[in-house]
Amino acid sequence: MKPIRIFSKSLYFWIRELHLYFGLFISPFILMFAVSTILFNHTFKPWDKSNVQETSMSIEIPEGITGGAEGLKPAKQILRQVAVSGEIGYLSYRPKQNRLIIPVMKPGQEVRINVDLEKGTVAISRKRTDIWEAMFYLHKSPGQHNVNIRGNWIYTQIWRWLADIVVYLLLFISASGIYMWTVLKAERKIGLILLGAGGFSFVLIVFAIAA
């Protein structure tokens, strides 16, 4: 029985340590998601420092201009010419008007590039956004729309990986928290009450939504 007891203590030690340090790692992400969720729910921003700048310039129109995922490559070539970076949204290609509109987003900035394909000019509208809108962007990113083109910016791809990692670690922290609670006999009664209250609340909201 002694080796089993040693293994049990060692397992508890490592789970406790990982629970602690993984929790510290994901805490900034959880805080960001929590704050932005509150702002979403109450459609509230403490202050707004957004401003818009308009510029225009001439560019060399690349070949293969079109909309959708097929238009990403020439759109990125245009972005390099106008020194704009970020996640490209839905490309609005208007062949009858000889125009292409490229929306670009990243934390702290929203850009709308209106390309005149006939004249070879672009009108660039830059909206500087505040930290609250930046949190909104990160909370929603990469979003539920434009599935075929989203994740076309390297930092969006990194953020997507980080968001997934946070979810996996949160699942581990939840499971390890339950494990450590079961080991501590003195905490079982209050733990059962809280676990039951949480489970009841979850079932209640699921039933209300499904009804």
Q: Is residue 155 part of a domain?
A: no
Structural domain ending residue among the three candidates 79, 105, 129: 129
Looking at the predicted structure, is the pLDDT value of residue 1 above 60?
no
Residue 59 and residue 120 in contact, taking contact as beta carbons nearer than 8 Å:
yes
pLDDT of residue 80: 93
Residue 146's pLDDT is: 61
- pLDDT tens for each residue of 182-210: 887 767 778 788 888 888 888 888 887 77
pLDDT at 111: 93
Look at residue 77 and tell me if it is in a domain.
yes
**Three-state secondary-structure class, residue 130:** coil
| Pair (79, 123) in one structural domain | yes
Residue owning tokens 């125009």:
99
Q: Is position 186 within any domain?
A: yes
Report, as an integer, the average pLDDT of 138-166.
Answer: 79
Cα–Cα distance for residue pair 84/98, rounded to 1 Å: 22
Computed over every residue of the chain, the mean pLDDT equals 84
36 pLDDT higher than 60: yes
Give residue 45's pLDDT.
Answer: 65
Confidence of residue 139 (pLDDT cuts 50, 70, 90): confident
Shared domain for 38 and 79, answered yes or no, is no
**Tally of structural domains, the chain:** 2
Specify the pTM.
0.74
% of the chain surpassing 70 pLDDT: 87
Instruction: Write out the two tokens for 167.
Output: 């979810």
Residue 144 lies in a domain: no
Helix or strand (DSSP H, E) at 115: strand 109-116
172 or 137: whose pLDDT is higher?
Answer: 172
Among 80, 111, 129, the domain boundary falls at 129
Q: How far apart are CA 4 and CA 71, in angstroms?
A: 61
> How open is the CA angle 92-60-155, to the nearest 5 degrees?
60
Which domain does 13 fall in, by range?
Answer: 2-44+161-210
| pLDDT tens string 38-84 | 887 776 666 655 678 899 999 999 988 888 888 899 999 999 999 99
Kindly tell me if the per-residue pLDDT of 122 is higher than 90: yes
Question: Helix or strand or coil: residue 123?
Answer: strand
| Same domain, yes or no: 166 and 205 | yes
- Give 29's strand partners: none
**Same domain assignment for residues 24 and 73:** no
* 202 in any annotated domain: yes
Dihedral (Cα; 191, 192, 197, 203), 10-degree rounding:
120
Does one domain contain both 38 and 61? no
Q: Cα–chain-centroid distance for residue 35?
A: 13
Residues 65 and 117 in one domain: yes
Strands 87-88 and 92-94, bridge-based pairing: unpaired
Instruction: Check: CB of residue 119 under 8 Å from CB of residue 142.
Output: no
For 136, the enclosing helix (H) or strand (E) is helix 131-140
Residue of 145, 66, 73 lying closest to 105 (CA atoms)? 145
User: Cα 198–159–30 angle (5° rounding)?
Assistant: 30
